[in-house]
Structure 1
Amino acid sequence: MINILESAAREAGTILLSYYQKELRIEHKDDAHQIVTEADKVCEKAIENHILREMKKKGIPVDQIGFIGEEGLHKSGTYTFIIDPLDGTSNFAAGIDYFCVSIGLAKNSELIAGVIYDPVRDTMFLAEQGKGANMISSTQTKKLHIQHAPLAHSLAVMGFYPKKSSLTQWFTIAQDLVPLTHNVRWLGAFELDLCYVALNRFSFVIGKPFIWDFAAGYCIVKESGGTVVDWDNKEIVLDFSDPQKGYPILACHPKNKSVILPFLYNNF
């Protein structure tokens, strides 16, 4: 299945680059801070069509295939593809090169594979349950393995939507975490943040993303030897019945989990 995810992500990445740093039609969602571009919609449809075509070749009936996605795909199946055609839409629309395509795959509600493609750098991150995680670029193929580093020497990333009702809590968390770390960042593409944890560029990521904002990255961090838990230190349980649910997430090296979690639990 991983080859289907990879080829679909590459096709979507090519489409994104055809729109990148050009004039875009932008729509605002109910929350004024969330936008959608024509590139989001075109890419999501391209991914859906690509997957359906390739799954048909494998003889898998269409009624066993589901899609969960940001732009209105809300049907689960035996095989559920969780799609964010453009994670980092605001960055993309502003011409900032920190965005990606992400596709996760769940079988019977269990995440089993994920790919994240950074089209600007032509870099693909892939993971499949029990088979590890890899980064493939034009210059190298690298096995991903999360290494432990003291938090004082580490960069951390926070991923959240700037809703007025929760800003105070997020700023409190940042205030508590900054003294523990080298510094804290907020970059705007949660799936790519997770890849950078697997690459040991960031020590941990925290946030409350939607399912399409973390499904693929969850697989990549886990298969790189990291841990991904909720803020009560419990395993992530997917809920396909509520696509607008936010998931409190911590992704890090297992040895750092016990140090970080108290700050998250105490503030939310």
Structure 2
Amino acid sequence: MKTDCQTYIKEMLEIGNKLIKESPILGEETGSVNAKGDKTIEMDVKIEQAIIDYVRRNELPFNIFSEEIGFINIHPKPQYVLVFDPLDGSTNYRVGKGLFPYGLMIALYKGLKPKLCDIVSSGFAEHTTNKWWTYDGSKTRDSHGKVVILSHNWKVHRSTPVHFDLYYKKAYDTFSSLAEKIHIRWGGSNTSSLLYVLSETSAAMGALLMRPEEIGTVVSLIKGAGGITVDHKGKDLGNYIFSPDETYQLLAGDKKIVEFAVSQLKNR
């Protein structure tokens, strides 16, 4: 490729940000469902199509997996898999009046059957705060190019905030053993959880069934910032195979808090 992967990721983030800023709220359902069976909304589709058009226009050697359209082949000799969620937190976008976090998650994997550790670049833009971060294969940086290093000063305490995906009833049951030991919160999207961890207003984030279009972005950005990312048994998520058909357990962020959470979940 003529340009490095990180440049492409940044330009895709800019495409999504521009569409959000220049468009009215496009929160109406399209009448169709996405690859996961969820109803799609107009802005999801608009951002997705703009990124696919960008990849085609630049003739990038990518296969694509997106939340809305699923898995598609658009290059005769692909070398990478581009995975993205065009609008994570679409309900927050639709009803939140700019108060609830939502954003764009992108991850680029090297190879066609990659593991989660095979991400060469990723990016995340949260639109209500205009904050974004990128991962260059080793380090996570903010929008000013500053390397992000997560604080390691968090203590296991009932006031220490952690953000868990509580969309599913099973998630409430899973994380209930941590209640009143650390402060469980939920912002309505994994975008909100990732925003708060990277902004160091939350010690960790977690999910029971994180979707494939989100997992790579979360794993790479938090590991690139010095955090850890494991499943609920403490196994490093980097060793997991990426699959469009899988969901993933996740605990990610400060090592001390994550390891405490693992110990409690093991004893359920």
User: Which residue type is aligned with residue 134 of structure 1?
Assistant: R
Superimposed CA distance per residue, residues 115-174 of structure 1 (whole angstroms, 9 cap, x where no aligned partner): 0112333222111112x11111xxx55431111210314211111433xxxx1x422344
- Counterpart of 1:179 in structure 2 is 180
TM, length-normalised to structure 2: 0.82
TM, length-normalised to structure 1: 0.82
Matched pairs, number: 249
Q: CA 1:212/1:233 → structure 2, altered by over 3 Å: closer, same or farther?
A: same
Give me the whole-angstrom Cα distance separating, in 2, the residues matched to 1:125 and 1:141.
Answer: 9
What root-mean-square deviation, in Å, do the aligned CA atoms of Structure 1 and Structure 2 show?
2.6
Alignment equivalent of 2:29, drawn from 19, 25, 30: 25
Superimposed CA distance per residue, residues 216-263 of structure 1 (whole angstroms, 9 cap, x where no aligned partner): 1221101100001111222224545x4232100110222333211133
Q: CA 1:174/1:69 → structure 2, altered by over 3 Å: closer, same or farther?
A: same
Superimposed CA distance per residue, residues 75-105 of structure 1 (whole angstroms, 9 cap, x where no aligned partner): 4752111110000011111134310011111
Give me the whole-angstrom Cα distance separating, in 1, the residues matched to 2:30 and 2:22.
Answer: 16
* Secondary structure of 1:39's aligned partner: helix
Comparing 84-93 and 72-81, the one that deviates more: 72-81
User: Which residue type is aligned with residue 131 of structure 2?
Assistant: T
**1:73 counterpart = 2:81:** no
**1:150 counterpart = 2:186:** no
Structure 1 residues 69-148: aligned runs within 5 Å: 69-75=66-72, 77-97=78-98, 98-108=101-111, 109=114, 110-130=118-138, 132-136=139-143, 142-148=146-152
Q: CA 1:214/1:191 → structure 2, altered by over 3 Å: closer, same or farther?
A: farther
Give me the whole-angstrom Cα distance separating, in 2, the residues matched to 1:33 and 1:174.
Answer: 26
User: Which residue type is aligned with residue 128 of structure 1?
Assistant: D
Give me the whole-angstrom Cα distance separating, in 1, the residues matched to 2:226 and 2:190.
Answer: 19
Give me the whole-angstrom Cα distance separating, in 1, the residues matched to 2:6 and 2:36.
Answer: 35
Comparing 185-194 and 213-222, the one that deviates more: 185-194
Superimposed CA distance per residue, residues 188-218 of structure 1 (whole angstroms, 9 cap, x where no aligned partner): 2214422421221111111021111222122
Gaps of 5+ in 2: none
